[in-house]
Amino acid sequence: MLLYESLAAQLREQIAAGVLRAGERLPSIRRLALAHGVSAATAVQACLQLEREGLALARPRSGYFVRAQPPAPLSPVPRRRVPRTVSNPALHEVIDMLSRRDLLPLHAAVPAPELLPGTALAAALARALRRNRTQALDYAPAQGHPPLRRLIAQRYAQLATAVSPDEVVITAGAMEAITLALRSIAAPGDVVLVETPTYHGILQAVAALRLKVVELPHRPGGGLDLARLDAVLQDAPVRAAVLVPNFHNPLGSVASDADKQALLARCARHGTVVIEDDVYGELAWSGQRPAPLRHFDCHGLVITCGSFSKTLAPGLRTGWLLGGEWTDALVRAKYHSTVGSPALPQLALADYLQRHDQERHLRRLRRALADNARRLRAGIERHWPQATRCSDPSGGLSLWLQLPPGGDGTALFEAALAEGIGISPGQLFSSRGDYRDHLRLSCGLPWDEHLERALRRLGQLAAAQVA
Amino acid sequence: MLLYESLAAQLREQIAAGVLRAGERLPSIRRLALAHGVSAATAVQACLQLEREGLALARPRSGYFVRAQPPAPLSPVPRRRVPRTVSNPALHEVIDMLSRRDLLPLHAAVPAPELLPGTALAAALARALRRNRTQALDYAPAQGHPPLRRLIAQRYAQLATAVSPDEVVITAGAMEAITLALRSIAAPGDVVLVETPTYHGILQAVAALRLKVVELPHRPGGGLDLARLDAVLQDAPVRAAVLVPNFHNPLGSVASDADKQALLARCARHGTVVIEDDVYGELAWSGQRPAPLRHFDCHGLVITCGSFSKTLAPGLRTGWLLGGEWTDALVRAKYHSTVGSPALPQLALADYLQRHDQERHLRRLRRALADNARRLRAGIERHWPQATRCSDPSGGLSLWLQLPPGGDGTALFEAALAEGIGISPGQLFSSRGDYRDHLRLSCGLPWDEHLERALRRLGQLAAAQVA
Q: Do B413 and B347 sit in the same domain of this protein?
A: no
Q: Do A206 and A255 sit in the same domain of this protein?
A: yes
Please spell the DSSP secondary structure of A90-125, one letter per residue.
HHHHHHHHTT-SSSEETT--S--GGGS-HHHHHHHH
Residues from chain B contacting residue A91 (CB–CB below 8 Å):
332
Q: Do B240 and B376 sit in the same domain of this protein?
A: no
B315:A138 CB<8 A: yes
Min Cα–Cα distance to chain A from B313, Å: 6
B144: in domain? yes
B289: in domain? yes
Which pLDDT band, with edges at 50, 70 and 90, does A86 fall under? very low
A81: in domain? no
CB proximity under 8 Å: A 423-462 to B: none
B78: in domain? no
Q: Do A338 and A395 sit in the same domain of this protein?
A: no
Give the number of other CB atoms < 10 A from CB of residue A429. Answer: 26
ipTM of the shown complex = 0.87
Q: Do A262 and A194 sit in the same domain of this protein?
A: yes
Q: How many domains does chain B have?
A: 3
**Distance (Å) of CA A164 to CA A156, B83, B351:** 9, 14, 40
What is the model's pTM? 0.88
B258: in domain? yes
pLDDT digits (tens, 9 = 90+) for B304-318: 999 999 999 999 999
Q: Do B331 and B423 sit in the same domain of this protein?
A: no
B133:A119 CB<8 A: yes
Q: Do B249 and B129 sit in the same domain of this protein?
A: yes
Q: Do A305 and A330 sit in the same domain of this protein?
A: yes
Min Cα–Cα distance to chain A from B466, Å: 33
**Distance (Å) of CA A215 to CA A182, A192, A256, B360:** 16, 9, 20, 57
B75: in domain? no
**Is A183 at the interface with chain B, CB within 8 A?**
yes
Cα torsion B87, B90, B93, B94: sign: negative
Of A109-113, B92-96, B120-124, give the lowest mean pLDDT range: B92-96
C-alpha–C-alpha distance, residues A369 and A292, integer Å: 21
B157:A84 CB<8 A: no
Q: Do B306 and B378 sit in the same domain of this protein?
A: no
Q: Do B227 and B190 sit in the same domain of this protein?
A: yes
Q: Do B104 and B250 sit in the same domain of this protein?
A: no
pLDDT at A85 over 70: no
CB proximity under 8 Å: A 300-339 to B: 300, 313-317, 323-325, 327-329, 331-333, 335-339
Which of B355, B383, B400 is a domain's end point?
A: B355
B181: nearest CA in chain A? A337
Strand partners, B218: B224
Average of pLDDT values for B119-143?
Answer: 96
pLDDT at A77 over 60: no
- Check which CATH number belongs to the domain holding A348 and give it: 3.40.640.10
Q: Do B384 and B331 sit in the same domain of this protein?
A: no
Average of pLDDT values for B390-412?
Answer: 96
B163:A19 CB<8 A: yes
Range of the domain at A321: 118-355
Question: What's residue A39's pLDDT?
Answer: 87
pLDDT digits (tens, 9 = 90+) for A246-303: 999 999 999 999 999 999 999 999 999 999 999 999 999 999 999 999 999 998 999 9
B34, B175, B335 ranked by CB distance to A204: nearest:
B335
B431: in domain? yes
C-alpha–C-alpha distance, residues B147 and B346, integer Å: 9
**Is B81 at the interface with chain A, CB within 8 A?**
yes
C-alpha–C-alpha distance, residues B249 and B428, integer Å: 12
A112: nearest CA in chain B? B138
Question: What's residue B82's pLDDT?
Answer: 34
B79: in domain? no
Question: What's residue B69's pLDDT?
Answer: 63
Question: What's residue A69's pLDDT?
Answer: 63
Of A15-29, A90-104, B8-22, B451-465, give the lowest mean pLDDT range: A90-104
Residues from chain A contacting residue B350 (CB–CB below 8 Å):
none
Which of A324, A355, A386 is a domain's end point?
A: A355
- Check which CATH number belongs to the domain holding B25 and give it: 1.10.10.10
pLDDT digits (tens, 9 = 90+) for B259-281: 999 999 999 999 999 999 999 99
B130, B157, B314 ranked by CB distance to A14: nearest:
B157
Which of A355, A383, A402 is a domain's end point?
A: A355
- Check which CATH number belongs to the domain holding B436 and give it: 3.90.1150.10
B86:A328 CB<8 A: yes
B339:A201 CB<8 A: yes
A329:B85 CB<8 A: yes
CB proximity under 8 Å: B 188-247 to A: 188, 201, 204-205, 208, 210
A86:B332 CB<8 A: yes
B210:A201 CB<8 A: no
A167: nearest CA in chain B? B82
